[in-house]
Amino acid sequence: MSILWRVLTRHRRAVILAAVLLAAFLLMTVQVRHDRAVVSFVRQAVLFTVSPFIKLTAVTVGGVNHVWQNYVDLRGLRQENLRLQREAVLLQRRIDQLEEQVLETQRLQGLLAMREAWRAEFVAARVVGKDATNWFKTILIDRGSRAGMRRNLPVVGPDGLVGRIVEVTPSTSKVQLITDPLSAAGVLMQRTRVTGIVIGNLDAGLRVRYLPLLADVVVGDQVVTSGMGGVFPKGIPVGRVTAVERKSGALFQEAVLQPKVDLSRLEEVVILMNWERREGFETGSRRQP
């Protein structure tokens, strides 16, 4: 025992490094084996601790941006003419507010139209943060378990599918975007009803895999969720085919998609609640928003 202790003490540096590397390796291994309890606990603990600071930062940045746009940018005008500057500040502020209101109204009208079309309960949320790496595509929204959020709820924008909730804290949730390299969803071609699986990519693109080699898929085809897998309702627009790839010797063909939603500029999203108890997601019967 004492010999072991002496060896450990002498090689303390190497032992600590090996132990911590092993811990990190085991964490990843645990996830591969789908034992999510420990991982989920750690994620939620960190997210719970950090998310108030992220929200605070987002609010502060918004405030500073507001002040910058409404005051600092207009400071030069004061040097030319004080009276005109005051008027300009007031008018500019009104214009900014009105423009912002118009844009917000348009976005909310889109969301309301979507709600009408799909007849689902929904909760609107604001995007307060983005993924901490460039590799994965997730966003942080300002609704958590207190607002009824839970894992795997589908998240959509005015134009189509955004992703699904993967982590929930009381006040925030993390949404995995469909462009995330670890994301996958069942889809079908709206025109021919051919099914496939849409996956994300490291370059933030979308690809539909496992399309039968002889299936009729052409550029311009609209792609919607198939409803298979039970996470996403059937008929949510996903994207438009921009290229079809048929490699010689391959069993399947692939399609490259342009996402319906501009995921880099998301400000508000909608979380579909209790959709499984409702009907109306089928594209054939769905009114267009």
Partner 1 sequence: MRLFVVCLLACASAQAALLGAISVGGVRPDLFVLLVFFLSPRVSPEVATLQGFVIGLCQDALSGGPLGLRAFTYTFLGFVTAWLSHDLYTEKPLAQFWLLLAGAAGASLLAFSLLAFFVGLLPLVPALGLIAPEAVYTAVVGFLLLRLPQVRAAFVRAI
Site residues for partner 1 per CB under 8 A: 12-13, 16-17, 20-21, 23-29, 31-32, 39, 42-43, 45-47, 50, 53-58, 61, 128-138, 140, 166, 174, 176, 180-182, 201-204, 264
Of all helices (H) and strands (E), which one includes residue 18?
A: helix 12-32
Output the CA–CA distances (angstroms, integers) from residue 240 to 81, 114, 117, 237, in the order listed: 52, 19, 20, 9
In the bound state with partner 1, the residue whose beta carbon lies nearer, of 82 and 103, is: 103
Give the nearer residue to partner 1 in terms of CB position, either 1 or 19: 19
The residue written with tokens 């309890």 in the block is 37
- Closest CA relative to residue 4, chosen from 18, 17, 20, 15: 15
Identity of the residue, 36 or 94, whose beta carbon is nearer to partner 1 in the bound complex = 36
For 120, residues 6+ apart whose C-beta sits below 8 A from its C-beta are 233, 272, 273, 274, 275, 278, 280, 281
Measured CA to CA, the distance from residue 156 to residue 121 in angstroms comes to 12
Q: With respect to partner 1, which residue has the nearer C-beta, 126 or 278?
A: 126
The least distance separating partner 1 from the CB of residue 199, rounded to whole angstroms, comes to: 11
Q: Which is nearer to partner 1, 60 or 274 (CB)?
A: 60
Distance CA 113, CA 48 (A): 33
Q: How far is CA 94 from CA 82, 83, 103, 104, 109, in A?
A: 18, 17, 14, 15, 22
Beta bridge partners of 209: 197
Name the region of 259 (left: φ>0; alpha: ψ -120 to 50; beta: rest). beta
Question: In terms of CB distance, is 50 or 215 closer to partner 1?
Answer: 50
What backbone torsions phi and psi does residue 172 show, to the nearest 5 degrees?
Answer: -140, 165
Of 57 and 285, the one with the shorter C-beta distance to partner 1 is: 57
